[in-house]
Structure 1
Amino acid sequence: MILLTGFEPFGGETANSSWAAARSAARQLQAEGLDVRAVELPCVFGASAKALEEAMERSLPELVLCAGQAGGRSRISLERVAINCDDARIPDNAGNRPVDEPVVQDGPAAYFTSLPIKAALAALTAEQIPAEVSQSAGTYVCNHVFYALMHALRLLPGTRGGFVHIPFADTQVPVGSSAPSLPAQQMAAALAVVVRTTLGTTADLRLAAGATH
């Protein structure tokens, strides 16, 4: 079983590109004969992690790929690390606004993804999908879910998982706006590429994709 997740709209928006991409990617992969389930998570600290954990308990997945919307980014961002910190610049959908609070009390400072992000980067680039390895998933609900996922996976050594940020869909951006975006179909295809690459990769590529700042 493969579990894909995206988020409900937040911040006053009416859509969230991550959920649309997760649903569409699930359909693509199901058409290829894979057992895939897509779940929409609430954009709420605590509740999002609980919803993810409940979905994992029901599905018993071998792979969990969580996606989130990162307005302002122009590429598919393969997240490398989740940190144990909630620090919200804006309230979540329940009005929560934690500042400098741990995702998991007494948990480790950080977890690295268990996805082969370098191999995924190479596969996305080969498909001419703009992509990058990201060194920070932020400190909002996306990072909260990413950290909660990796914390849960420490007890499931046979299951791999990680997080991908995607830009706005082009349909979310007003005509004439300079905000970066990608076609919704391309972002769904990107999630499917990450899934296929992970299933077919046991050891990640050694490929330079770091950052200088």
Structure 2
Amino acid sequence: MANKKKVIVTGFEPFGEHAVNSSWVAVQELERLGLGDAVDLHVCEVPVEYQAVQRLLPSLWEQHQPQLVVHVGVSGLATTVTLEQCGHNKGYKRRDNCSFCPASQCCMEDGPDCIHSVLDMDTVSKRVNESSLGIAFSVSKDAGRYLCDYTYYTSLHLGQGRSAFIHVPPLGKPYSSQDLGRALQAVIWEMLELLEVGQKHNEHCNHQHQHNH
């Protein structure tokens, strides 16, 4: 298939009390499962460093021209697989793995306070919750003002909203790496379907629009 969809999925390296980061474990499990023949999946591990994110993300978007970039992070507070709707620009006071924190405490000078994903996470969550996966999904509008939120905001900006962020609980609390891999696979399939429907709708609208004039 010439027109394979390109999807990039990232997880984070260990930090703080997370000696093993379940996000990267889940992403590696997803890589093993794959996203089917129609999707070209590219995974990478992101350092828990603000400056590394600023370097890495533009190259991921430019080099691969993906349809969708999904970032996965761990949350010690999460008990469900949590879909984040938006990324925030300000409030970055917590130091990273290099003990660095942005002097401005924001992602982008003069950027909007909040950027929303083009994907409606409520719809995605509803669909996967109704499936027979046996994994609980929820939606959040606060990605935590640390590297997760920072990465999400940066990616939403670079990809004009064609990005998603998924928080996963630590391993075994309650889900195994296999569970999390299957959860990511199911969610990303739903996301790609929503993007496709949106695209068709836009083409249809443009088509209609041209007829009117």
Q: Pick the TM interval, shorter chain.
A: 0.7 to 0.9
The answer to whether the 8 Å contact 1:65/1:161 transfers is yes
What does residue range 1-213 of structure 1 map to in structure 2 within 5 Å? Answer: 1-30=6-35, 32-89=37-94, 91-98=95-102, 101-125=105-129, 126=131, 127-154=133-160, 160-170=162-172, 180-201=173-194, 202=197
Q: Which has the higher helix share?
A: 2
Alpha-carbon offset, residue 124 of structure 1:
2.2
For residues 86 and 100 of structure 1, the distance between their equivalents in structure 2, rounded to whole angstroms, comes to 9
For residues 127 and 79 of structure 2, the distance between their equivalents in structure 1, rounded to whole angstroms, comes to 18
- The one-character-per-residue Cα deviations of 1:59-97 (angstroms, maximum 9, x if unpaired) are 1111111111101210011001111114234x2111113
Alpha-carbon offset, residue 187 of structure 1:
1.0
The answer to whether the 8 Å contact 1:49/1:144 transfers is no
TM-score, normalising length: structure 2: 0.82
Gaps of 5+ in 2: 1-5, 199-213
Aligned residues: 189
Gaps of 5+ in 1: 171-179, 204-213
Bigger-Rg structure (1/2): 2
- The one-character-per-residue Cα deviations of 1:108-155 (angstroms, maximum 9, x if unpaired) are 11101122312321232122211101120010010000000011113x
Q: Secondary structure at the match of 1:149?
A: helix
Q: Secondary structure at the match of 1:25?
A: helix
Code of the residue aligned with 1:128 in structure 2: it is: G
Provide the identity percentage.
Answer: 28
The answer to whether the 8 Å contact 1:11/1:92 transfers is no
The RMSD of aligned alpha carbons is 1.9
CA 1:139–1:100 in 2, change beyond 3 Å: closer, same or farther? farther
Q: Secondary structure at the match of 2:34?
A: helix
